[in-house]
Amino acid sequence: MNFTEYNFLIFFLVVFISYWLLKRRQWQNLLLLVASYGLYGWAHPWYAIMLGLSTLADYALALGIVQNRARTKWFMTASLLVNVGVLAFFKYYNFFSGGLVNALSGLGLQADPLLVKIILPMGLSFFSLKKLAYVIDVARGTLEPTRDLAGFALFVSFFPQVNSGPIDRAQKLLPQIQSDRVWKPENFYSAWPLIVMGFFKKVVIANTVIVAVDRVFSLRQPTIVLILMAALGFTLQILADFSAYTDISRGVARLFGFETTENFNNPYLSLTPTDFWNRWHITLSTWLRDYIFFPLRRALLRSKVKFPSWLVDAVPPLVTMLVSGIWHGAQLNYPVWGLYFGVLIVGYQAFGLGGNWKPPHWWTRLLAWLVMFIFIVVGWLIFRVPSLDWLFTMLRSSPFLGSPEEANMAFVTLFVVAIYAAPLIIKLLVDRFWKQDSLVHAAYYVMATLLMIVYLNSGSPDFIYYRY
C-alpha cells in the first residue's frame, strides 16, 4: 500500500485514533505490530509470514549468542544465512532463471512460470539489514538483546519504514518502543512539515519528472544530448522520490511518538564522493561503513601479511561500494554503479580530497561542486539505464544533437527539470535564510499544500526504492 493512496489514509486514521485511545504502552505496541504486519501483507499475505519467521529466527539467534558465547560464530553464520542468504535468493534468483529455463528446455522439460519467476518482497533489503545489524551488535557485545519479542518484531516491521527505511538501529528505535509515549501537540507541529514536503516532492515533482525521464529511456535511439537531459531529470526524480518517502515516514512516525533517523542532508551540494555518501541515504551509508568498510579496513591493517598502504586505502571503499551496488539488485549496471563511486572515492582520496575537504575560495568551491555534480549525474545515468548494453550502443551509434525536433525535445526535458527543481532550491534558500517559525516558511508550506492537492490523484506510481 503506497503512502499516496487513499487506502493508506484510511488505514492511517484508523490506526492513529485507536493508538492514542489506548493508554498502555503494551497495547499501543501490539496495535502497531498488528497494523504493520497487516500493511506489509496487504498485497501478498505470505510476505507477512516470511517477515515473521525471519524475525523469530534473529530474535532467537541473538539470545543464543549471549547464552552461549562460545558458539557466537555459529549463531552469526546462521543469521547471515537467514538475512543475506534469503536476500540473495530473492534478488538474484530471477537473474539466473533464464539459464534454468534453457537447461530444462534442453532436457525436454517445460518450466512452470511460477517456478521460474519469484516476486521480490517489498522492503526485504531494508529489514534484512536492520536484523543483521542487531545480531552483529549483540555478537560484538555493544548491544544487549531484548527479550521482548513483540517489541523486537515491531522494531523490524514498524510500518512507516518497513518498505524503504530509514534503516534505524536497534539502539535508537528499541528504547522508544519500550518507553511510554504520551500525545503532545509538538508531535503534530514537527510532523506536518515533513509530511507536506514528502507528499509535495513525490506527487508534484517526482511523479511529473518521471514522465519525461521514462519517455527518453524507452526510445529506440535517443540523441546523446537527450540522454544527458534524461539523466539530469532522473537525478532530480530519485532525490525527490526517495527523500519524499523518508520525509513521510519520519512524519508519520512522529505522529505516533517516535523519532527516526534523517536519511538525506542536501546530497547534491557535496564537494567529494565521500561527502556525497555522508549525505545520501545516510542510514544505508552508515550501515555499510560500520559493518563492511571499518571491519575490512581493520582486517587489512591487522593482517599478518603486510599490505601496501595504497591497497589498504583502496580495497575497503571499492568493496563497500560494490556491495552497495549488489544490494540494489541483479542488473549488471548496479554493481558497475557501485564500483564507479568506489573508484571516485579512491581517486579523490589519492589526491588528498577526503570527505571534509573544502577549497578556500568561493570560486574553487563552485568548481569543485560542479565537477562532483557532473560525476553524480553520470552515476545516476549508469544506475537508471535499461542495461549497460543499451547505454554503450546509444553512445556509439546515437547522434549528438539530432534533428531540430530532437533538439527541441532535449530542451523541453531540460526545461521540465529546471521548473521542478526550482521548489527544492527555493526550500533550501528558505531554510538557510529564515527561521522555521517565520511567515516565509508558512507561506512556502501553504503553496506546497495547494500544489499537492492539485496534483494528487489515486494513480500515483510506487516509490522508486520499493523495488530494491
**Looking at the annotation, which residues are catalytic?**
328
C-alpha to C-alpha distance for 177 and 260, rounded to whole angstroms: 12
- Cell 528446455 belongs to 105
- Cell 540522454 belongs to 227
Non-local (6+) Cβ contacts of 465 within 8 A are 163, 164, 165, 241, 242, 245
Non-local (6+) Cβ contacts of 409 within 8 A are 226
Q: What angle do CA 281, 149, 161 make, to 5 degrees?
A: 25
Look up residue 84 and give its DSSP letter.
I
Please give the grid coordinates belonging to residue 356: 571534509
Residue 341: CB atoms within 10 Å: 26
Distances (CA, A) of 41 to 34, 35, 44, 157: 11, 10, 5, 11
Non-local (6+) Cβ contacts of 368 within 8 A are 271, 272, 359
Q: At what angle do helices 170-177 and 149-157 cross, to 10 degrees?
A: 120
C-alpha to C-alpha distance for 194 and 141, rounded to whole angstroms: 35
C-alpha to C-alpha distance for 324 and 342, rounded to whole angstroms: 10
By C-alpha distance, which of 409, 450, 461, 30 is closest to 225? Answer: 409
C-alpha to C-alpha distance for 192 and 183, rounded to whole angstroms: 15
User: Is the preceding omega at residue 166 within 30 degrees of 0, hence cis?
Assistant: yes
Look up residue 269 and give its DSSP letter.
G
Size of the chain, expressed as the number of residues it contains = 468
- Cell 521540465 belongs to 416
Distances (CA, A) of 378 to 26, 200, 265, 319, 337: 49, 26, 20, 20, 9
C-alpha to C-alpha distance for 276 and 282, rounded to whole angstroms: 10
By C-alpha distance, which of 174, 154, 131 is closest to 38? Answer: 154
Which residue intervals of 351-438 are DSSP H helices? 362-384, 388-397, 404-433
C-alpha to C-alpha distance for 208 and 214, rounded to whole angstroms: 11
